[in-house]
A and B are shown apart, each in its own frame.
Chain A
Amino acid sequence: MPGAISSLPSNSLTAARATEITFASDWPFEVTPDWAWRGSTGSGVRVCILDSGIERGHPLIGGVERAVAIELDDDSEIRIVDDQDGDLFGHGTAVGGIVRSLAPDAGIASVRVLGARNRGSGEVMLAGLRWAIEHDYDVINMSLSTSRRELLAALHELTDSAYFRRSVVIAAAHNMAVDSYPWRFSSVFSVGSHEQSDPMCFYYNPAPPVEFYARGLDVEVAWQGGGTLRASGNSFAAAHISAIAALVLAKHPELTPFELKSVMRLTAANTTGARH
């Protein structure tokens, strides 16, 4: 696999720089689940969850490294504040719990973009995503989308900038017949649900925009009040892919989003013929 490219982006390649980006001669070698994530706990990887917040001190999640809320004030201006409310719905807690269960040592941050003082507006989602990209999270999990066309250019720019900065954006596909984004953008990992119960089992879909299917059906998830319940939805599938991405990046921090997607293509259940 390629080594880290630390220099600034360049649109042309000098002879001197060509040697800097030469990849190891033993590549490509066989990319297997063992190579990709076996033994990884997600240590050193930072995952940011854009959702309804995460319940403080939930026994299945423990501490989060940061929790902020994106709010609209009375003049509809965006404010970014420390999150005092936790999770009013339970959903963000469920997503956080899935990431914690598979990647126990990954750092988790919560950006609340759905809740009492933001109404889940497209502008709030954009501000949350911008905050996560600016804070250089390795994995950004999004369970929401917008279909407001006037926001598409800004959202497209944001997901592209995440891609260039090596922040992997993982978005739940909308399973309704609506044109919503960012899950339809090729710069993100778009995730739908399969019906298997193995949390590490995922499939690559050769017919995008949904590129991966992961566990999203009948998942025991963390919920409000320190408890759990069984729930289904593409957002839980996205959380599984976020966790697996964190495991891979912890072992192979040099991977770009393009390379990570390729690794996941090569280690998917429908490639290896095995469930993990």
Chain B
Amino acid sequence: MSEEALRAAVAASALAGEGAEEELLRSIVEVARAIFEAGAASIATYDEQADELVFRAVAGAGSQTLIGTRFPSTQGIAGWVLVSGQPLVVDDVQRDPRFAGDVAARTGYVPRALMAAPLLVGDRVLGVLSVLDRPADEPFGVAQMDLLSIFARQASIALDVISRARGAGAALDGAGDADVVARVAGALGRLSPRRRAAGIALLSALERLLAETPEP
């Protein structure tokens, strides 16, 4: 691995530190729920190998039970959004026999209305962002669909950055002991300014020592 590639991988790997993805996803669904004053919001990502959608983050109703739940990507409303890459709003989900059967059985919660948008990066669909149940007197309208689309775009970019960073981190695994550099860089980034300055001073001293010490 060249120094330049190592530098990029270390930086990216530090960005995608432990728990960053879960935290990001949770934040996205919480913001989505707040923006739309919704009963719940969720992100399901696409597991290509299993050909399934997996609930990764849920805010509001269903948040205790739904995470980790899988369902086939080849059916239903979210499945259509995934394969078509187009957003869809359904105002009475309970009348979709498949949706009501599957989800109700697993969670005990069946929303009235559902607005779902694909998480798109280029031509790849990373998953589906769903917003469930606006207040009864405020149905989903054209403006909400446009807003969800803009929001889903931002969420997709964030997810893509994290996923690239994880890829770069994985590349470090093949770079021998270099992954320790990524871990140290990540740990430094999480320190307070004062302790970070002290850590950098220590590492700078180590760098000088390594440069001055002749090889045995």
Contact with B along A147-173 (1 / 0, CB 8 A): 110000000000000000000000010
Closest A residue to B152 by beta carbon equals A176
Contact B92 A89 (CB under 8 A): no
Query: Which of B57-65, B72-80, B205-213 has 4 or more CB atoms under 8 Å from chain A?
Result: B72-80
Contact B88 A148 (CB under 8 A): no
Contact A217 B142 (CB under 8 A): yes
**Any chain B CB within 8 A of the CB of A252?**
no
**Contact A175:B146 (CB < 8 A) given known A228-B95, A229-B96:** yes
A267 to chain B, nearest CB (A): 23
Contact B84 A120 (CB under 8 A): yes
**Any chain A CB within 8 A of the CB of B38?**
no
**Any chain B CB within 8 A of the CB of A110?**
no
Closest A residue to B93 by beta carbon equals A229
B122 contact set on A, CB distance < 8 A: 147
B96 contact set on A, CB distance < 8 A: 90, 223-224, 229
Closest B residue to A147 by beta carbon equals B123
Contact B86 A233 (CB under 8 A): yes
Contact B89 A89 (CB under 8 A): no
**Any chain A CB within 8 A of the CB of B150?**
yes
Contact B86 A174 (CB under 8 A): yes
Determine the main DSSP class of A at the interface with B. Answer: loop
Interface residue range, chain A: 35 or more
**Contact A230:B91 (CB < 8 A) given known A116-B74, A193-B142, A195-B141:** yes
Within 8 A of B (CB), among A46-94: 52, 88-91
**Contact A114:B80 (CB < 8 A) given known A177-B149, A195-B142:** yes
**Any chain B CB within 8 A of the CB of A32?**
no
B161 to chain A, nearest CB (A): 17
**Contact A176:B80 (CB < 8 A) given known A148-B123, A234-B86:** no
Closest B residue to A192 by beta carbon equals B142
What total of A-B pairs shows CB separation below 8 Å?
112
A76 to chain B, nearest CB (A): 15
**Any chain A CB within 8 A of the CB of B140?**
yes
**Contact A230:B90 (CB < 8 A) given known A147-B122, A177-B149:** yes
**Any chain A CB within 8 A of the CB of B85?**
yes
Contact B149 A120 (CB under 8 A): no
**Contact A176:B87 (CB < 8 A) given known A88-B74, A223-B95, A230-B92:** yes
- In the bound complex, CA of A195 to CA of B91 (Å): 14
**Any chain A CB within 8 A of the CB of B153?**
yes
**Any chain A CB within 8 A of the CB of B196?**
no
Contact A231 B88 (CB under 8 A): yes
Contact with B along A218-232 (1 / 0, CB 8 A): 100001110111111
A120 contact set on B, CB distance < 8 A: 83-85
Contact A91 B80 (CB under 8 A): yes
Contact A90 B85 (CB under 8 A): no
B89 contact set on A, CB distance < 8 A: 231-233
- Residue from A52, A119, A175, A228 within 8 A of B80 (CB atoms): A52
- In the bound complex, CA of A126 to CA of B32 (Å): 35
- Residue from B84, B85, B117, B153 within 8 A of A91 (CB atoms): B84
**Any chain B CB within 8 A of the CB of A178?**
yes
B140 contact set on A, CB distance < 8 A: 232
Within 8 A of A (CB), among B135-158: 139-142, 145-146, 149-150, 152-153
- In the bound complex, CA of A47 to CA of B85 (Å): 23
- In the bound complex, CA of A195 to CA of B87 (Å): 16
Contact B77 A89 (CB under 8 A): yes
Contact B87 A224 (CB under 8 A): no
B87 contact set on A, CB distance < 8 A: 175-176, 233
**Any chain B CB within 8 A of the CB of A194?**
yes
**Any chain B CB within 8 A of the CB of A41?**
no
A153 to chain B, nearest CB (A): 16
Contact B91 A114 (CB under 8 A): no
B146 contact set on A, CB distance < 8 A: 175
Contact with A along B121-136 (1 / 0, CB 8 A): 0110000000000000
**Contact A229:B90 (CB < 8 A) given known A176-B153, A218-B139:** yes
| Given A115-B74, A229-B96, A231-B89, 7 extra CB contacts under 8 A | A91-B84, A148-B123, A229-B92, A230-B91, A232-B90, A232-B91, A234-B86
What residues make up the interface of B, taking CB atoms closer than 8 Å to A? 74-77, 79-80, 83-93, 95-98, 117-118, 120, 122-123, 139-142, 145-146, 149-150, 152-153
Q: Which 4 A-B pairs have the closest CB atoms?
A: A120-B83, A232-B89, A89-B80, A230-B91
